[in-house]
Amino acid sequence: MDVSAQLRHAPQAAESGPDFSELIAELHRGLPAHCVLSRVEEKKPFECDGLTLFKEMPGVVVLPENEEQIIHVLKTCKKMGVPVVPRGAGTGLSGGATPHSQGVLLGVSKLNKIRHIDPQAATAIVEPGVRNLAVSEAAAAYGLYYAPDPSSQIACSIGGNVAENAGGVHCLKYGLTVHNVIRLRIVTIDGDILELGADAPDAPGLNLLPVFIGSEGMLGIVTEVKVKLIPKPQLARVIMASFASVEAAGEAVKNIIGSGIIPAGLEMMDKRATHMVEPFVKAGYDLDAEAILLCESDGTETEVEDEIVRMEKVFSDCGATRLQTSSSEEERLRFWAGRKNAFPAAGRISPDYYCMDGTIPKSQLAYVLNEMVKMEAKYQLGCANVFHAGDGNLHPLILFDANDPDSVRRAEDFGADILELCIKVGGTVTGEHGVGLEKINQMCSQFTREELDAFTALKKAFDPDMLLNPTKQIPTLNRCAEYGRMHVHGGQIAFPDIERF
């Protein structure tokens, strides 16, 4: 099944749907009129997230301004059996915030206050609509910052980061969102308040905090997040290492980690990516290299100088054709600006791009990149690779034309093949963008039905009626059968009695 068909095949509410006039009247009892959007022109901006291949007009859009209003929305939808799709800033890239045509799209962008920064404890309490970068900007006065830094950090919100377990170029050393969140306050579909996590190192009962982070809005709505802040390092320098082949660059990634060095960031860009970015940002990239690595060290001046020497030796031993180390903070930021602006730079050379997200063992980097070159020929589409090499999180940018249906189909098939390849080499279908609707078919390949049923049971523990972000992330048995992925265990095909399509 192609990607664009997934919404058509996803189970929806009864065709007649709820009585929107009655629903709107109920919503108005707890929200100001300007927080409930029902006209087509008001709802149009919310029809998709950053993955524009999926579009669906929501039944109603609500933009609550506080927790009390969120509770009213959820209680109303629970009573009326109306699906609810949470939405942050809408920068997600897996269709996780694609609306439900018979439901409510609940945006949290108006909950955008930084409530408290504690410089002694190095923590911040923020609302879900606060932009990622705004946290670091506010903490800078205390010499602190928030480590997870997705490329969309200027726009993406903390609530969305929690939903997708977002990462960024510095997650190799400092961790993903799950490693930097201390406590969450959430509202369940019943309108109840839950607090997950604790200020102490441990808390009584089951640790549900990491269960909720990355759950893509399927378990509850976040209203408050307490995050860790870390001291801004005294010094940071980045090496730009050039290589004559992706194999050599992949070997260098493996050897850096194998030598016991954990860089603050370790990113790879292939030749197509550097040629795409350099005219846009003028970062000073080596355009003759088949691949470049950006490898950062941070800490005290002594620590950085020692680590830079060790890193340069590893790169030289792996055949680096050029090594350039930032000599100033301005140059360091310019090197990273190219990496962080790779996605918008794609618009200079292609009408559209499709950003994939899969994770593979670092030892398989060269093999997977070379297989993607073969896929470019197979699908007659270009692909630029720019990704988190240090933890094997790939972000291939498939270049296509959304105005050409055949180009769209080839892009979708190309993306599906990349995800299947990630699974084949021992990786996963997502690293930080989530599953949403985009990767729901590949979940049938990644997991057994028993595992998927366990995911469903967990969701039902929070949301028995399956109203929160339905049809996302967890594929149905029928979908897996139609996708045709038949897992074989001990020579036996699972569920042999199911009709295969």
Q: What is the mean pLDDT of residues 63-82?
A: 98
pLDDT digits (tens, 9 = 90+) for 400-415: 999 999 999 999 999 9
What does the pLDDT read at residue 484? 66
CA distances from 188 to 114, 358, 470 (A): 23, 30, 15
Percent of the chain with pLDDT over 70: 93
3-state secondary structure 276-299: HHHHHHCCCCCCCCCEEEEEEEEE
What does the pLDDT read at residue 10? 39
Please give the residue that has the higher pLDDT: either 200 or 422.
422
Q: What is the mean pLDDT of residues 67-94?
A: 97
Say if CB 103 and CB 84 are below 8 A apart.
yes
pLDDT digits (tens, 9 = 90+) for 338-381: 999 988 899 889 999 999 999 999 999 999 999 999 999 999 99
Percent of the chain with pLDDT over 90: 87
Q: Tell how strand 123-126 and strand 221-228 pair up.
A: antiparallel
E-assigned strand segments in 210-310: 221-228, 230-231, 235-243, 265-270, 291-299
The residue whose two tokens read 């990634």 is: 253
The residue whose two tokens read 């095909």 is: 493
Whether residue 79 has pLDDT greater than 90: yes
pLDDT digits (tens, 9 = 90+) for 448-462: 999 999 999 999 999
Please name the residues in contact with 478: beta carbons below 8 A apart, sequence gap of 6 or more. Answer: none
* Count of CB atoms situated within 10 Å of the CB of 192: 12
**391's tokens:** 């933890």
Whether residue 95 has pLDDT greater than 70: yes
Torsional class of 386: left (φ above 0), alpha (ψ -120 to 50), beta (otherwise): beta
Please name the residues in contact with 140: beta carbons below 8 A apart, sequence gap of 6 or more. Answer: 232
Q: What is the mean pLDDT of residues 375-396?
A: 96
Q: What is the mean pLDDT of residues 311-319?
A: 97
What does the pLDDT read at residue 19? 62
**403's tokens:** 């105005």
What does the pLDDT read at residue 404? 97
Q: What is the mean pLDDT of residues 127-149?
A: 98
What does the pLDDT read at residue 243? 98
pLDDT-derived band at 204, boundaries 50, 70, 90: confident
Whether residue 336 has pLDDT greater than 50: yes
**263's tokens:** 């860089």
The residue whose two tokens read 């209003």 is: 69
Q: What is the pTM of this model?
A: 0.90
Q: Report the DSSP beta bridge partners of residue 118.
A: 123
